[in-house]
Amino acid sequence: MKYVILAAVVFAVALARPQEDDPAPAAPTQNVTILSSDTENDGKGGFKWTYETSDGSKAEQEGHTNPPGSDNPGEVIQGSYSYVGPDGKTYSISYIADQNGFQPKGDFLPTPPSDPNSPAALALSRSAARSAAPAPEAPVADEPAGADAPADAEAPADADAPADRR
C-alpha cells in the first residue's frame, strides 16, 4: 500500500513541475479608445456604420435589401476595414457580400492565378477534380464468384459439361 501512495506522490510532483513548452508571455495589453463611431438605420433594410479606434483600426459598412423580383434580390453589403498588424504595417480589406457570397479584396490576400494554363491553376483544377470525384463503388454481394477475375484467367471446368465445352 505504501508503494501505491509513494507512486501517486511522485506522479503528482512530476505533473506539478514547470513545463518547458509554455508559450511566451502575452504582450502587455493596450487600452484602446473609440475615436469615432456612427450608425444609421433607415428602417427599410438600409444601414450604415463606421468606427475608428486609437490603435489605428477602422471599419465602415453599408448595406441595403433589394426587393424580390429585382435583378439582385436579397441583401447587398459592402464595406472595408483596416488594422495595424504586429509587424507595424496597416492591413486593409474591402469587401462586398451579395448573392455571389463574401468577396474580399486586399493587397496581401492570396489570389487565384490569372492564366488558366499556369502550373498553379492546373494543380488547383486537378485538386478540385479529385475532391469532386465519386467514391469507388463497393462490390455487389450477389455477383458470381470469379466475376472480378482477370479476363485471361481460366474459369473452373464444369464436371457435367462435355469435354469440348470445358
- pLDDT for position 63: 95
Task: Tell me the C-alpha to C-alpha distance, in Å, between residue 112 and each of 103, 116, 121, 128.
Answer: 13, 9, 7, 13
Q: What are phi and psi of 52, to 5 degrees?
A: -145, 140
All three cell numbers of 80: 472595408
The per-residue pLDDT for 15 is 61
What's the confidence (pLDDT) of residue 123? 75
pLDDT at site 156: 53
Q: pLDDT value at position 19?
A: 61
What gap in Å lies between CA 117 and CA 123, rounded to an integer? 10
The tens place of each residue's pLDDT in the chain, 166 residues long, gives 666 676 666 666 666 666 666 555 556 677 899 999 999 999 888 999 999 999 999 999 999 998 888 877 788 999 999 999 999 999 999 999 988 899 999 988 887 767 777 777 777 777 767 766 565 565 555 555 555 555 555 555 555 555 555 5
Listed by start position, the domains of the chain span 26-128
Ramachandran region of residue 101, left (φ > 0), alpha (ψ -120 to 50) or beta? Answer: left
Confidence at residue 112, expressed as pLDDT on a 0 to 100 scale: 73
| Grid cell at residue 64 | 441595403
Q: Look at the pTM and tell me if it is higher than 0.75.
A: no
